Amino acid sequence: MKNSSIKKNTVRAQQLWFTGVEQLELREHEFSAPAADELLVEVECSAISAGTEMLVYRGQIPNEMALDANIAALRDQQQYPLQYGYASVGIVKTIGINVDPKWLGQRVFAFQPHASHFITILENLIPVPADIAAEDAVFLPNMETAVNLIQDGSPALGERVVVLGQGIVGLLVSNLLAQFPLAALLGVDAIPLRRERALQLGVSKVFDPFSTVEISALKQQLNAAENPKGADLIYEVSGAPDALNLAIALSGFSSRIVIGSWYGNKTAAIALGGDAHRNRLNISTSQVSSLAPELSGRWDKARRFELSWQMLRNLRPSQLITHRASLSDASLMYKNLHQAPAEILQAIFIYSPS
Residue 257 has pLDDT above 90, yes or no: yes
At residue 161's C-alpha, the angle toward residues 160 and 165, to 5°, is: 150
Residues 6+ apart with CB under 8 A from 142: 47, 49, 87, 168, 169, 172, 317
Q: Are strands 117-121 and 38-47 parallel, antiparallel or unpaired?
A: antiparallel
Residue-level pLDDT at 2: 46
End-to-end, the C-alpha distance of the chain in Å comes to 29
Contact residues for 303 (Cβ-Cβ < 8 A; gap 6+): none
Where do the domains of the chain lie, and which CATH numbers do they carry? 11-133+316-350 (3.90.180.10), 141-293 (3.40.50.720)
Give this prediction's pTM. 0.92
Label residue 138 by pLDDT band (50, 70, 90). very high
- State residue 50's pLDDT score: 87
Longest dimension (CA), the chain: 76
Alpha-helical (H) ranges within the chain are 52-58, 134-137, 140-153, 168-177, 192-200, 212-222, 243-249, 275-278, 301-315, 330-339
Tell me the percentage of the chain whose pLDDT exceeds 70: 93
Whether the CB-CB separation of 235 and 149 falls below 8 Å is answered with yes
Mean pLDDT to the nearest integer, 337-349: 95
Task: For residue 276, count other CB atoms closer than 10 A to its CB.
Answer: 19
User: What's the confidence (pLDDT) of residue 67?
Assistant: 56
Residue 65: predicted pLDDT:
56
- What are the tens digits of pLDDT across the range 215-233? 999 999 999 977 899 999 9
Name the more confident of 78 and 212: 212
What is the model's pLDDT at position 205?
98
Of the pLDDT bands very low, low, confident and very high (cuts 50, 70, 90), residue 78 is low
Which pLDDT value is given to residue 151? 97
> How much is the pLDDT for 273?
87
- Mean pLDDT for the chain overall: 92
State residue 1's pLDDT score. 42
- Asked if the model's pLDDT at residue 76 lies above 80, the reply is no
User: In this model, does residue 75 exceed pLDDT 90?
Assistant: no
Task: Give the model confidence (pLDDT) of 18-72 as tens digits.
Answer: 999 999 999 999 998 999 999 999 999 999 998 889 999 999 887 655 555 455 5
Q: Which of 92, 149, 160, 202 is nearest to 308 (CA)?
A: 149
Sign for the pseudo-dihedral over CA of 10, 325, 85, 107: negative
Tell me the pLDDT tens digit for each residue of 306-326: 999 999 999 999 999 999 999
pLDDT at 201 over 90: yes
pLDDT at position 155, please?
98
Q: 3-state class of 128 per DSSP?
A: coil
